[in-house]
Every structure is written in C-alpha cells, then in structure tokens.
Amino acid sequence: MLTIVFDLDGTLIDTAPDLIDTLNVTLMREGLPEVPYETARPLIGGGARGMIERALASEGRFSSKAEVDRLYAAFVAHYGEHIADRSRAFPQLEVALDGLSAEGHRLAVCTNKLEWLSIRLLNALQLAGRFAAVCGQDTFGVQKPDPEIFRRTVLRAGGQPQQAIMVGDSATDVRTARAAEVPVVAVDFGYSDVPIATLRPDHIISSFAQLPAVVSELRRATNVVDDQHFIGHKG
C-alpha cells in the first residue's frame, strides 16, 4: 500500500482564523494596523515569517532580520497558546482518513510548520494518533519544497518514498511532489495565492470525500503491483 503524505495548514486543517488572529495580535503590539482576514489568508502558504514580512512591507516599514526574528518569536509564543481556538479539520477529513487507513495506507504529515506546533495542533483536535509521522521544518533541518523532507517523512512513517503520494494546497506542495517524483493531489479549498489548477497537480479535489477514490485511481495509474512495488510517477 501507499504512504499518503499530507500538508497541514490549508490541507488537513483550516488554521487561518488562529494564524491571522495571532498575526494581528503581533502587529497591534507594534502599533501597526490589523491585516484584513481576506488579505491575510492567501499569505499563509508562505509561512509565519512571510506573513510578518509582507504585513510590515505593506505599511512601508523596513524589516531587518533581527526585527523579523523578534516578531516571529512573539508570534510563535502567542500562537502556541491559541493554536486551536478556532482551527478545525476540513469537512469529511476524518471519514476519508478512516477509509484510507482501512485500505491499509500509511498516513503522515509533512509541513513547514514547526514540529511541536504541528503535534500540539493535531493533539488538540484529536487527530495526531491517525498519523504514523508528523514532520515539520525543524525535524530534519530542511523544508518544502526540498524533496528530502518528503522522503524522510515517508521513511519515518515506515513507508518507501517511491510508494507515496503528496496531498497539499499550494505551489510549495506541488513543487515538493515533483521534486520527489511522486503524484500530487491538490485541494481547492486551501490557501494557495493562485488558482490551484494553474499549478497542474495530478488531481484536484473539492472535498475530502473525493480523496479515497482519487488515491485508488492514482494507484492504478502509477502501476502499483501486488501492493508491494510502486514503479513511480512520471509527472
């Protein structure tokens, strides 16, 4: 069977409310105006540092590395205490995970969020136990789109990198999958700052209810033989 590797923010979990709340708390402590929700939501895929830098730039404020580091530390401290105030799993997620697990697939998370924050979030939502591995930007010292974080996540989950699929919501996830030479399924309800179809993933889903059937189709298309050998994806 396959190892199905999920992105976290904007893919498994709608984390935007808590991330944006934290961004605005951080900015207001600096005497800066809040960023409207709809403006900030597409920035999430660039990570917390990127959100902070772009928010500062929008106010014409020069941001040195030291300043961004300071604000990022304040962001993480606040976010860690409010990580699941309003964040929730996307609809139909748990049903899809149940179905995939019942078919024998391994499930893992590969995110550019810090590992401890990722585990805290999944624990808060009672989802952590569903995943054989949860790996973040600090787990291996590399982050997406470097394919090494994907490969190491699969190995930590007990799978083989050639027998894996990426599920994500952004250009970073698509680039990671292409670099790792595995299929990629994109959700269209995440935080991509461009229309997801323009990234040309192998499949696009609008609900997790569609994922088990797509995984079955990808297994057939990528020549999984006897559930043991995954020849690979030519994307």
**Residues 149-191: tens digit of each pLDDT:** 999 999 999 999 999 999 999 999 999 999 999 999 999 999 9
Q: In the listed set 81, 107, 130, which residue is the last one of a domain according to the structure?
A: 81
Q: In the listed set 81, 115, 135, which residue is the last one of a domain according to the structure?
A: 81
Which CATH number goes with the domain that contains 75? 1.10.150
Q: In the listed set 25, 53, 81, which residue is the last one of a domain according to the structure?
A: 81
Clarify whether residues 178 and 100 are in a common domain: yes
Clarify whether residues 25 and 51 are in a common domain: yes
Q: What letter does residue 130 receive in the DSSP assignment?
A: G
Task: Give the contacts of 197 (CB within 8 A, at least 6 positions apart).
Answer: 188, 204
Determine the structural domain holding residue 61 and report its residue range: 16-81
Count of other CB atoms within 10 angstroms of residue 84: 15
What CA–CA distance (Å, rounded) separates 127 from 20?
22
Q: Which amino acid is at 87?
A: S
Clarify whether residues 108 and 188 are in a common domain: yes
Confidence of residue 223 (pLDDT cuts 50, 70, 90): low
| Catalytic member of 7, 14, 21, 169 | 7
Clarify whether residues 67 and 138 are in a common domain: no
Does the annotation count 7 as an active-site position? yes
> What domain count does the chain have?
2
Tell me the pTM.
Answer: 0.92
Tens of pLDDT, residue by residue over 132-151, are 999 999 999 999 999 999 99
